[in-house]
Amino acid sequence: MRILVLGHTGYLGRHVAEQLSALGGARLFGGGRSPDADLRVDLATADTGRLAESLADLSPDAVVNCAGSLGADPVTDAEVNARGPAVLCAALRKAAPTARLVHLGSAAEYGAGEPGVPVTEEAPTRPVGSYGATKLAGTVAVASSGLDAVVLRVGNPVGPGAAPMSLPGGTALRLRRAGGDHDAVVRFGDLSAHRDFVDTRDLARAVVLAATASGPLPRILNIGGGRAVPIRDLVQGLVAVAGFGGRVDEAGIGSARSAGVTWQCSDITAARDALGWEPRFTLTDSLSALWASLGADGEADPVA
């Protein structure tokens, strides 16, 4: 089986590539902007015709799109999260119309949830910012492409190698830099909002199952932990793992991307039914693995 992973050097892409490479009989190709990529491409600017030619040369049986912009700015979000999937689908229709496409969407597409009510894939989508809106546009492009495609709507990823711009990765980095200073104060915004955290290794396993499943899949599947967790619990969990003896202060400025979304939780029943998938790692497992992945300088070590 020939599998192309776009964004294979990114945070999620590395985990996905690692698990796909362990499949017996699979030949893995990496796609992205890195010099060592088998397919050098930037979906934000790619030409459909040239991308189709490159895809035809690779002749993939499955394509996994892990490329994405994490709310850098509205223009970049639109180019990467909305235009990118649309161009990819157009190129696949020309070059590899029978390939299975697995695209990573985001629970941010749903927007704010109703406390106590996990959202199913049929729930209304009401994103509150450019990140969620552009991810939703990418999902629409994939779901309406006519390809053998599935969108995995991912909750909040956490695990080894987390990027510094993410809440888990950024928190771990700040705690590592604070070290053993008992007078240190690490400031956040309000941490009372609830999120659905999913381990990156569980996510990668869902991708493997989706890429290799026989027969058609639902167009959209939620991939999350299946429970709403206060962000404060994640921060305090990292504090415990780090042995941080300083103080956490919630009087700072919070994330603009998360503003207005106080509660999110995904119903993962459909993924369980369609893929036989459910999360295996606890949040404590994820935080311990994240902390262990930090290098001596506090940066996350690469995850193969």
Query: Which of the residues are catalytic?
Result: 131
Distance CA 75, CA 186 (A): 31
Closest among 13, 7, 212 to 100, alpha carbons compared = 212
